[in-house]
Amino acid sequence: MATKKKQSVDIVIPVFNEAGVVEQTYVCLRDVLNGLPYDFRLIYVDDGSRDGTIDSLRKLANADPRISLLMLSRNFGHQAALTAGMDAARGDIVITMDADGQHPPEVIPQMLDLIKQGYDIVQTQRLEEAQPASFKKWTSGLFYRVINIVSGTRMLPGAADFRALSRQAVDALKSMPEYHRFLRGMVSWMGYSSIILPYEEPKRVAGKSKYSFGKMLRLASDAVFSFSLMPLYIGLSAGAIFIILACAQILYVLNLWISGQFQKIVPGWSSLMAVMLIASGIIMILLGFIGVYVGYIFQEVKRRPHYLLKGDKRDE
Ligand code: UDP
Ligand code: MG
């Protein structure tokens, strides 16, 4: 009797300077996967680590044949590392998760069940109430509020890059070639049948966050400028309001002249300066926005690859 072939699942795990941490989180992940009726493959993507992470990963790969290792030629960032892993994935289902223990593997069986039920995207959502107040929580809350105002694509607050995708959804994502990648937004833009799975985020197993403030800002600007033209409209409408105010002022002055009350017009240096400063401020902001978009266009038209691989155990 022919046995039904097990579905293959690729788990993509980007890693940057996580020596020590990867071994611990691998053990937890392995324990969860061992009981599940799927063919798993773990794709660890080393994003240019400079500590002993690569040695740890090699050790793991030698002990477990289900592990493949991809090494990027330098630190390209979390989103590029995820992209590299998804490009290498061949499974029927692809799961992406962090290596630091903040994405609990205990959620994976539920994710797989939902994909089996026919969903293309199982998107997890961090339960914010469970998080202690912190700078990261505050900036993340602010970010989602802003992005949902300026972008036409609705983005889920607390959405993590911890999700399961069907083959169809992975192929769709791979067909989106943009250089500035904000995967959370790209996934919600795609549509398909998706479901939200809330989870409580544990603390990092060890080590510090690899998202420096600069990297957080870069991700936020990728999200805003690649998902919205709203900043241009903000500048334009502020400019329009100023032109309307200027017209009103001209009418007011004309009216005083016509009614013979021109002695009322006091030489108004301060008001003139205020108008000039505000108007030139708006022009500068608007030029800045245009500059950012031109910069983004410049980087897109270069059509650079999102990442480069270093030779080693590259997957066949
Ligand atoms: N990471 C990466 N490249 C980077 C920054 C982070 O591959 O440039 C990895 C990191 O090793 C971790 C995941 O992406 O597995 C999430 O990063 P982190 O935990 O530092 O972010 P946070 O949870 O603080 O948002
Ligand atoms: Mg983390």
Using one digit for the tens of pLDDT, what is the confidence trace for 42-98?
A: 999 999 999 889 999 999 999 999 999 999 999 999 999 999 999 999 999 999 999
pLDDT tens-digit profile of 97-134?
A: 999 989 999 999 999 999 999 999 999 998 876 667 78
For residue 270, the model assigns a pLDDT of 67
Instruction: Please tell me if the CB atom of residue 84 comes closer than 6 angstroms to any atom of ligand 1.
Output: no
For residue 282, the model assigns a pLDDT of 82
Instruction: Please tell me if the CB atom of residue 102 comes closer than 6 angstroms to any atom of ligand 1.
Output: yes
CATH architecture of the domain covering 8-209? Alpha-Beta Complex (3.90)
pLDDT tens-digit profile of 25-43?
A: 999 999 999 989 999 999 9
Distance CA 209, CA 18 (A): 10
Distance CA 96, CA 12 (A): 5
Instruction: Dig out the tokens for 307 from the structure.
Output: 């990442």
> Measured from the CA of 100, which atom of ligand 1 is nearest?
15
Query: In this structure, is the dihedral angle defined by the CA atoms of residues 105, 117, 197 and 68, taken in order, positive or negative?
Result: positive
What's the half-sphere exposure (Cβ side, CA atoms, 13 Å) at 77?
Answer: 16
- Distance set, CA 229 to CA 142, 183, 223 (Å): 19, 18, 11
> Measured from the CA of 17, which atom of ligand 1 is nearest?
11
- Distance set, CA 261 to CA 4, 72, 158, 247 (Å): 94, 75, 61, 19
Residue 130 DSSP label: G
Instruction: Dig out the tokens for 14 from the structure.
Output: 């980007």
For residue 226, the model assigns a pLDDT of 82
Stretch 215-224: mean pLDDT: 86
For residue 314, the model assigns a pLDDT of 45
Residue 142, judged by CB atoms within 10 A of its CB (0-12, 13-18, 19+), counts as: exposed
Distance CA 70, CA 55 (A): 13
State the maximum Cα–Cα separation within the chain, in Å, rounded to a whole number. Answer: 105
Secondary structure of residue 215 in the 3-state scheme? helix
> Measured from the CA of 76, which atom of ligand 1 is nearest?
8
Residue 276 DSSP label: H
Instruction: Dig out the tokens for 139 from the structure.
Output: 């900036």
Give yes or no for residue 251 having a pLDDT over 60: yes
Secondary structure of residue 258 in the 3-state scheme? helix
Indicate the top mutation candidate among 211, 213, 215, 306 to test ligand 1's pocket, ranked by most ligand atoms within 8 A of CB. 211
Q: Do residues 103 and 97 lie in contact, with contact meaning Cβ atoms separated by under 8 Å? A: yes
Distance CA 64, CA 29 (A): 12
Indicate the top mutation candidate among 16, 44, 126 to test ligand 1's pocket, ranked by most ligand atoms within 8 A of CB. 16
Distance CA 159, CA 155 (A): 8
> Measured from the CA of 81, which atom of ligand 1 is nearest?
7
Indicate the top mutation candidate among 98, 128, 136 to test ligand 1's pocket, ranked by most ligand atoms within 8 A of CB. 98
